[in-house]
Copies of this chain bind each other. A is one copy, B any other.
Amino acid sequence: MKLGIIGLGRIGTIHAENAKLLEDVELVAVSDIRIERAKEVAEKLKVKKVFASPEDLIRDPEVEAVMICSSTNTHAPLVLECARARKHVFCEKPLSLDLVEVDRMIEAMKEAGRILFVGFNRRFDRNFKKVKEAVEEGKIGTPHVLKITSRDPEPPPIEYVKVSGGIFLDMTIHDFDMARYIMGEEVEEVYASGSVLVDEEIGKAGDVDTAVVVLRFRSGALGVIDNSRKAVYGYDQRLEVFGTKGKITVDNIREDTTMLTDEQGDHGSKYLYFFLERYRESYLEELKTFVKNVAENEPPAVSGEDGRMALLLGYAAKKSLEEKRAVRLEEVIP
């Protein structure tokens, strides 16, 4: 697969490095509005084509598939351009903050007959995949309660917070997708509570930094997500599914398995710091899956509809937070 990557920030660079590790992928073009950054990455990774304009990259005939890793507001026009150029698309999450745009992106890619794959990388983490399999195999019976803890080590810059769409669309959106993925069924009602406890600036920007979200699935199963923008001990990514036959959990991951025991007791090592450390492997798996989906002409492992549903859940959570009541999903469909 001949691949082009647009946007060479942290995530775009990871994808570029991973692309170089795969034998059946050739990274032929990169693009970044900071052209020097694009040149630097291209030189290091020996990518032959560098574009200042993402549209030029998309239109390049050699490029078969495009990874869109630029800022969220560029996702919609670039996906539409990919549809016009009939290129497969891997788009980072969220597809867009605007549901109307998302619908248009999905529609356009469908008409183009090309794959739209959304970058919910956590689905490709080995631990969560194992849970998904265990649930599907019935190891915990019928799921009754899903619990997700997701805490970042520190808040993003306040300028980012202001354009992020808020905690539910920026951060919880990953957990919404995970909830649907693990449970294999849709949410019908959302309740959200939130507080400003980490940084007052976040509150001034109209957002919360600590949140609890309750999900009601169609089967009556319940879900709970708790988020914080700041866990001083590092990235906190845990999950539990409880059902009629038992429970299965995913715990955090430490830097190493050493345990020091002294007069105070046992001391285990620190957790992995953030998503780059915690989910490094998942990005490679994600890319492999995208490549496989394209090669074998399969439906994408994470579809535009998946991106759309996660966005709807974020909308419902925002509405619930404002109105202090449970919000049904149909209430937020325009």
Contact = CB atoms under 8 A, between A and B. Distances in A.
Interface of A: 23, 44, 126-127, 130-131, 134, 139-142, 144-145, 147, 149, 151, 189, 191, 193-198, 210-212, 214, 216, 220-222, 224, 226, 228, 230-233, 236, 242, 244-271, 324-326
This protein's copies in its complex: 4
**A216, A262, A263, A325, most chain B CB atoms within 10 A:** A262
B226 A246 contact: no
A2 to B, nearest CB: 18
A265 B254 contact: yes
A259 B248 contact: yes
Contacts of A257: 127, 250-253
A267 B269 contact: no
Contact of A212 (B141, B145, B254, B269): B145
A130 B256 CA distance: 8
Contacts of A221: 195, 197
A212 B141 CA distance: 20
Nearest to A239: B258
Nearest to A270: B265
A214 B233 contact: no
A193 B188 CA distance: 13
B246 A251 contact: no
A103 to B, nearest CB: 28
Nearest to A127: B256
Given A262-B139, A267-B266, A226 B222 contact: yes
A233 B220 contact: no
A76 to B, nearest CB: 34
A222 B270 CA distance: 25
A242 B246 contact: no
B144 A210 contact: yes
Nearest to A147: B226
Contacts of A268: 265-268
